[in-house]
Amino acid sequence: MTEAKIAAIDDETSTRLTPRERAGIRFAEKLAVDHQKVDDALWSEIRRHFTEAEIVELVAHATLYIGFGRFNEIVGIEPA
């Protein structure tokens, strides 16, 4: 991902990210904030852009990094 795309993540009006990328980012953010609130609309959007195998991979990667972040907070590791 380019620096320009990274900068576009927080700008919903930016056209630098594809609808697929936007859906993946929204999904990962929802998993990080409140995984129990992934609603039917978001699941439908994710399924339009990703295969079932890709969804499993997205969930695996997102939750792994969320877990790393929580681990670091618990043991007091400061972000780099």
Q: What is the pLDDT of residue 14?
A: 87
Give the percent of the chain with pLDDT over 70.
100
Among the residues of 1-80, which ranges form H helices? 3-8, 19-34, 40-49, 52-75
Q: What is the pLDDT of residue 64?
A: 95
Which of 16-20, 36-40, 53-57 is least confident?
Answer: 36-40
| pTM strictly above 0.95 | no
pLDDT tops 90 at residue 80: no
